[in-house]
Amino acid sequence: MYICGCGGSDYVTGDRLREGGDCYDPLMIHADAKRVNAACLSLSSMSSMFDQYKAPDIIQACMRPCTPDALPVMGKIPGINGAFISCGHNCWGILWGPISGKSMSELIVDGYSNCIDLKSFNPSRYMKKNSNKRGRKKGIESVGEQW
């Protein structure tokens, strides 16, 4: 039996992913034993196949590519002629593969995707609106250094 998606994922950024960080090597990623046990107990309570709960033979955890808004990034890369991207599908990458491939091939060949609307997945949603200015904003209010 294979159980996937026990949850409790840690959002990892920056130095934790770089060499020397606690998530640099995939072997450093460990499953939360409490969540694994809860998932196994829950499954055993739903099926007579698991009358006798026993610990899993193999327990693994992994990193998943997930964007801050949980939507994939798909489309033309702004400012780079002929460059496209399709990534960040989280744990749904395999399921999204066929439609992602089809929509991206349409975009590359025809200039637009006919099978799905890629507007919500546009890579430019992560780009600063005023890329010629340095600084930070909180909503529309400027905070921090402004040059």
- Encode pLDDT of 64-116 as tens digits: 777 888 899 999 998 899 999 999 888 788 889 999 999 999 999 999 999 99
38: in domain? yes
**Number of domains comprising the chain:** 2
Is the domain of 43 the same as that of 98? no
Scan for tokens 């919500």, then name that residue: 120
52 & 90 share domain: no
80 and 118 share a domain?
A: yes
pTM to 2 decimal places: 0.61
Note whether 1 and 50 are same-domain residues.
yes
Beta strand ranges found along the chain (DSSP E): 73-76, 84-87, 136-138, 141-143
- Give per-residue pLDDT as tens, 45-54: 787 776 666 7
Dist. CA 99–CA 80, nearest whole Å: 24
Domain stops at, among 15, 35, 63:
63
CA–CA distance from 142 to each of 49, 124, 129, 130, 137 (Å)? Answer: 60, 21, 13, 12, 4
Q: Give the domain extent around 19.
A: 1-63
103 located within any domain: yes
Which burial class, exposed, middle or buried, applies to 77 when counting CB atoms under 10 A from its CB (0-12, 13-18, 19+)? middle
